[in-house]
Structure 1
Amino acid sequence: MPPSSPRRPGGAAALAVVAAALLLLASASLFVGSAGLTPRAVLAGDPAALRLLLASRLPRTLAVLLAGLSLGIAAVLMQVLFRNRFVEPTTAGTADFAGLGLVLAAILAPGLPVWGKMLVATGFALVGTAIFLRIVGRIAWRDDAVVPLIGLMLGGVVGAASAFLAYRFDLVQMLSAWTSGDFSGVLRGRYELLWFAGGVAILAYAAADRFTVAGLGENFSTNLGLDHRATVRAGLAVVALVTASCTVTVGMVPFLGLMVANGVCLVMGDNLRRSLPWIALAGAAFLLLCDMAGRLVHFPYEIPVGTVAGVVGSGLFLQMLLSRRVRLG
């Protein structure tokens, strides 16, 4: 018998390899852009280096990974449920409504704890997504590119209202922190809400098959016995919770899901059961690379992660609009 050809690693093995590579990248990022922290100092047990590592660098790296993971999953859920590859929280007005909720919470209840702010932002994100759905439902011509442009215009109007209120009540600096993804202020005790966002996003994997079927349309999913409206509501609730948690903790990160979800789905297909783990890893890796680039481009100064991701993501968004290679099936 001829010798058998070597077997390629299966999906689980490939995921494990990618996860290990991401872990190595995350370990390296702990020391990038920090003159006062080196691997030698940590291995030598330097107390100052260990305090800096545990209080700042490790929480920041975990926050980046959790935000990238959860935002990538939230984006692909929106794309599947809206059946449009150009939709994500920052192109559907969801993030802007969450920001408006935070501004109103700061005005009306300035002493509200962070959990309360997250709940307020989640409620506004759900309302904003519902308004976006209602507007899109009334449009006869639903071109792939028109739908996200409507979301961007809606988000622009809401963002202008937030800016006016922030200016009126002297909250401009606070609004700036919520609208630009910046991990420089992440410390131990100030990022733990992102564990909740990551947990909610990972729980979406349990209902991945339902979301996949719901993305095929209401008539098709109903014929298969699926409660389409309840599934869509559950998916949008996940999106709202993730968006609100990330906005409250580190601010908005534009276009992340647009790149990650589309890039993975072009290779892996639209089956969420198969693609969600890859999207989670890709989102975490992309945001981690943006964070490292922001620390190195203008060292010793730092460029916010949201700015780096926005520049790269907006370029890809324009390319997608012009090439129109990404379409609904």
Structure 2
Amino acid sequence: MALDEAPASSSPRRAAPSAGLLLTNEFGLIVLILLFGAGFAALAGGFLSPFNLFTLGRTVAVSIVIGLSMMAVIATGGLNLAVGAIGVCAAMASGYAIEVLGMPWPLGVVAGLAVGAALGWVNGWMVVRTGLHSFIITLATMSIFFGAMIFLTRAESYRALPAAFTTIGRAKIGGVVSPLLLVTLVVMLALVYLYRFTALGREMLAAGARPEAAELSGIRVDRIFILCHVLSGFLAAVAAVMMVARNGAAIPSMAGQLGQDWLLPAFLGPVLGGTLLNGGKVSVLGTALGALLVALLTNGLLLLQLGEFWIQSFLGLLLLLAVLIDKSRRSFLARRNLA
């Protein structure tokens, strides 16, 4: 039958969407999550215990927002290597505002979010003004932001935070679910609305897919690139504030040296979830599922008492595989004029 001919019956039409669903990143990730979850439940003692599920939920909640922070910049074909450094700066700003300046904790949180967005604006502005790739700019600002934070705070932690704030990160809903997961859900829904139902979101994707064509159609591409970095910085700050609530303190080392501990999960979530590295396509649900898979694997392998080195090596191989899959997917789409 020719491709442009109508089928004899309506059955193939009903089956087509299901077949397409089976080929999506989201479906593949769901299958992997179920398979690994079942394997860890059988092999790792305590994997399904309420304590471990609660701990896993808190970790996943933060990891998803970290992945979404990177996704916001990858949407334009860029990168944000400073996502961890921005997060730490935002966390320390919140801790300083609450503990030293005596702000009510909601205002302290807003101050931290504002710092994250401002540092994101700095990254975006420098990328646009210099014309350099965001990889170079954010690699430099990662060290600059982190170093400035260490100098200003003298590497001291802020631990005298109100119980009303830290309780959010330690509370349990139904004995298992962390309230931080609800925060993550709100962030995800907001991003879905942004990218699917707003002109700004569509402009972000258009600018990432074909910047020259977007410019010709009247989209201010430079402005869009800056806004994407602002969004990335804001989301990094959200993840950082969630970590402060979870840990009960704002700690300079909460994201590792220079914030590098966030880089691997930041890349794995969106790349596994189907966000194209050359920009123009994002998947909020896919990023969340990718982050869940990474957290699940890390948690299960730790319960199986594998060394941290082997876990990091495995995640690195997973990232390499995801990048190769992304390259194959882009080639597939290009050959069929679907990219």
Q: TM-score band, normalised by the shorter chain? A: 0.5 to 0.7
Report what 2:287 is aligned to. Answer: 279
Alignment of 1:38-57 (within 5 A): 53=50, 56-57=51-52
Inter-partner Cα distance in structure 1 for 2:210 and 2:88: 27
Displacement of 1:316 in angstroms is 6.0
Q: Does 2:252 match 1:257?
A: no
Q: TM-score, normalised by structure 2?
A: 0.61
Displacement of 1:213 in angstroms is 0.8
Displacement of 1:308 in angstroms is 5.8
Report what 1:197 is aligned to. Answer: 184
Inter-partner Cα distance in structure 1 for 2:159 and 2:42: 29
Inter-partner Cα distance in structure 2 for 1:314 and 1:108: 43
Bigger mean CA deviation after superposition, 94-103 or 307-316 = 307-316
Report what 1:49 is aligned to. Answer: none
Q: Does 2:67 match 1:72?
A: yes
Report what 1:124 is aligned to. Answer: 115
Report what 1:247 is aligned to. Answer: 240
Aligned mate of 1:97, from 70, 74, 89:
89
CA contact (8 A) 2:208 2:278 kept: no
Inter-partner Cα distance in structure 2 for 1:88 and 1:137: 16
CA 1:98/1:62 → structure 2, altered by over 3 Å: closer, same or farther?
Answer: same
CA 1:155/1:310 → structure 2, altered by over 3 Å: closer, same or farther?
Answer: farther
Q: Does 2:7 match 1:12?
A: no
Aligned positions, number? 279
Displacement of 1:110 in angstroms is 5.4
Displacement of 1:124 in angstroms is 0.7
Q: Does 2:126 match 1:135?
A: yes
Q: CA RMSD in A?
A: 4.7
Q: Deviations over 1:259-294 (max 9, x none)?
A: 343455587984526x44323311221122123334
CA contact (8 A) 1:103 1:166 kept: no
Inter-partner Cα distance in structure 2 for 1:27 and 1:112: 44
- Secondary structure of 1:245's partner? helix
Q: Deviations over 1:94-139 (max 9, x none)?
A: 32432442343254245643x4443222111111111122333343
CA contact (8 A) 2:298 2:311 kept: yes
**Percent same amino acid at aligned positions?**
12
Inter-partner Cα distance in structure 2 for 1:163 and 1:314: 32
- Secondary structure of 1:188's partner? coil
CA contact (8 A) 2:124 2:225 kept: no
Displacement of 1:27 in angstroms is 7.1
Report what 1:154 is aligned to. Answer: 141
Q: Does 2:72 match 1:61?
A: no
Q: Deviations over 1:141-199 (max 9, x none)?
A: x2x4xx3243233222322233344446x42789xxxxxxxxxx855279524422332
Inter-partner Cα distance in structure 1 for 2:95 and 2:154: 11
Structure 1 unaligned regions, length at least 5: 40-51, 175-184
CA contact (8 A) 1:117 1:248 kept: no
